[in-house]
Structure 1
């Protein structure tokens, strides 16, 4: 070979165990898969690969984690199965065999449960077969019985010591399972609370039995008094520190809340008030448009400050929300300033309410067109039996008896709409002093 020949890229050595466990190469139509506790798992390499060529058939081991959504106790065997690429039943049988060696399998399982992180749940994971879960529970029972018997035979320990230890382990396992699967610090249902309470009770009872079995009852009273005195002393010393820490946390929480409120207020003012002021500056040569923009911004700001925005967010599903929407549309369309008062407006909008609100809308349109004023008042009240509405203005006024026959606004849009549903309409108007239209509608079912 000449000196100028290029040396081939170095190839990393492959372990025999890796090559044997890799299996056949991936077919052309997709990656190779291997069995796992949550269904087929792709055996491809991770995103970050070490430099160098990877031989065909080489398989990277996935990260060793606990698979809690396919677990019987803590997900350790399911995680080992997915990591090693073997059936989960084989891993569980190996754990049962280790458990019969004076409980070594139990210690190994507990250590892995504490040290291994929990794998995130997979949305596409198939559900676990109930028969496989039942087989796993049976193997857990066999492992516990084998561990107890082998430990008793090898250490000559009686049941008076082993039973309390098993009770403590069972209680700790219940609590660990809850916080493993719940994902939250606090339980979320009555069953979760029962599980945590039962686990804590078993731990306390087991420890109490172990301790009381080693204590002479004659000296128990003095020991309890010493413990109580110690606890009282620790409490007296820690109360000032605890109170100061509590006040510090409360102040920090209040500061975060104030900062969030300031941020919300600043965002709202920027998106609404400042933008409207910029528009007013551009339209300063049009007084009518400036007044309309200012009135709309006043209405929006009032809704935001006094909570009306919560009603507006629901649209016209309530009487109060429907009045707000109607007043906003009329103010924007006609430039009329409308001051509204709504009492008992939390009820839903039905056919009866729609008829009354439609008549109110038509009365306000008449004010905008014929009264010659730029303000009007609206009052709506729902007392549970009658829905009442009043529209007042201080405009030109008119004579109801002198209205020509070709004018259908008052007769059709207001009177007929209300009276056809059993309501009454009262019109009081004085030339030069304004008009008041009163509407009373009995609610359906009353």
Structure 2
């Protein structure tokens, strides 16, 4: 009736469940021995899910006797079980009072505590539902905990005088305050030690990261430079790439230099790195203003900038160039400048499509403008302006 212990025993022994319940009632009249036995079997034996239940409200952990018949038989058996359970509780209380000369002021709180513990155990039984999920489950757990607390409080307060209890509480509080005051220096010293240890771990981790990065990047590049010291162009290319990677690492994730190719600043960085690695051209870049995603307009400007840098690497006769990119929210501007040999834009052959198609047409087809200023012997500057729609 409570957790299926008698039903499980009856099924295991092959007898009727009423016989087992009668034995439990008789044992309960022996100073509550039957109640203790029932609780011990409930606590220390594993429960299995029921195949069926003897009544509509029987616990899920109850087993069903093989002789369970119709609904009327189940109802009569359940009523008989409730009567036996009540008889067992009453008999255990009376026998306990007679054998120990203890009054109801102790027995009743103990029964209340037992009922509360039973409610909580029924919810958290290993074969039961486990953690509360429904309102009924929470009500069961809350009621059980309340009964346990109230029963224990009645037992304790009934044995203690209030005046002595107040003096005891004051003594306990004073002792705790004294212990707290004495332990403050020790606690502060322990806290400082923990903070110092934490800071030391952080510093050690940072040193380890720095050492790993320097070994994987700078030291490896220096070893390559030593092996290829007879090739100045290759040495310069390796040094430029390592400088760019080291700058990105030092500036950190919040810098524009490591913002990724998904934004204008990141795309400029990736594009310039590609040009430097492929063509051996050193590019000094400056990116100012706002940053944003790369759309069609931004992609056209970046493609024109890359083509201009490629022209510098092929035709200007220099190994350096400057790139300036500015986004003021309305117009994306880009300038590519070199101090090379220069050229006359009007004298460019018609079959040379680098400036006409890859730069002018790419930008102007998106609504932008291209301005070319070049002086023989003094270099070239290409200015690009692209209006940003919807900004």
- Say whether the fold is shared (TM-score over 0.5): yes
Q: Deviations over 1:288-340 (max 9, x none)?
A: 11111111111111111212599888852222222222111110111111122
Q: Measured at CA, do residues 371 and 231 of structure 1 come closer, stay the same or move farther in structure 2, by a change above 3 Å?
A: same
Match of 1:307 in 2: 252
Match of 1:214 in 2: 156
How many equivalent pairs are there? 320
> Map of 1:133-212 to 2, 5 A cutoff?
138-139=59-60, 154-155=92-93, 160-163=109-112, 207=149, 210-211=152-153
2:309 is equivalent to residue 364 of structure 1: yes
| Structure 2 unmatched runs, 5+ | 1-6, 25-33, 64-80, 95-105
Which secondary structure state, in structure 1, belongs to the residue aligned with residue 381 of structure 2?
Answer: strand
- The structure, 1 or 2, with the larger RCO (C-alpha pairs under 8 Å, 6+ apart) is 2
Q: Cα distance, 1:250 vs. partner?
A: 1.9
Which secondary structure state, in structure 1, belongs to the residue aligned with residue 385 of structure 2?
Answer: strand
Tell me which of 280, 301, 310 is aligned to 1:335: 280
Which secondary structure state, in structure 1, belongs to the residue aligned with residue 343 of structure 2?
Answer: coil
Q: Cα distance, 1:370 vs. partner?
A: 2.1
Using the alignment, how far apart are the partners of 1:201 and 1:249 within structure 2?
A: 43
> Map of 1:184-263 to 2, 5 A cutoff?
207=149, 210-211=152-153, 214-215=156-157, 216-263=161-208
Q: Deviations over 1:79-113 (max 9, x none)?
A: xxxxxxxxxx979x98x999x85255655666799
2:240 is equivalent to residue 319 of structure 1: no
Tell me which of 332, 335, 339 is aligned to 1:387: 332
Which secondary structure state, in structure 2, belongs to the residue aligned with residue 102 of structure 1?
Answer: helix
Q: Cα distance, 1:282 vs. partner?
A: 0.9
Match of 1:355 in 2: 300
Which secondary structure state, in structure 2, belongs to the residue aligned with residue 214 of structure 1?
Answer: helix
Q: Cα distance, 1:151 vs. partner?
A: 6.3
Q: Cα distance, 1:432 vs. partner?
A: 3.2
Contact map agreement 1:311 1:318 (CA 8 A) in 2: no
Match of 2:73 in 1: none
Using the alignment, how far apart are the partners of 2:200 and 2:113 within structure 1?
A: 49
Larger fraction in helix: 2
Contact map agreement 2:360 2:370 (CA 8 A) in 1: yes
Using the alignment, how far apart are the partners of 1:238 and 1:258 within structure 2?
A: 30
> Map of 1:407-426 to 2, 5 A cutoff?
407-426=352-371
Using the alignment, how far apart are the partners of 1:377 and 1:251 within structure 2?
A: 47
Contact map agreement 1:319 1:345 (CA 8 A) in 2: no
Root-mean-square deviation (CA), in Å?
4.6
Q: Deviations over 1:36-81 (max 9, x none)?
A: xxxxxxxxxxxxxxxxxxxxxxxxxxxxxxxxxxxxxxxxxxxxxx
Using the alignment, how far apart are the partners of 1:262 and 1:367 within structure 2?
A: 41
| Structure 1 unmatched runs, 5+ | 1-88, 114-128, 183-190
Using the alignment, how far apart are the partners of 1:318 and 1:440 within structure 2?
A: 18
Q: Deviations over 1:108-166 (max 9, x none)?
A: 666799xxxxxxxxxxxxxxx9999xx99934699xx99x9766752467564454566
Which secondary structure state, in structure 1, belongs to the residue aligned with residue 321 of structure 2?
Answer: strand
2:372 is equivalent to residue 427 of structure 1: yes
Match of 1:443 in 2: 388
Which secondary structure state, in structure 2, belongs to the residue aligned with residue 369 of structure 1?
Answer: helix
Tell me which of 315, 318, 334 is aligned to 1:373: 318
2:35 is equivalent to residue 102 of structure 1: yes
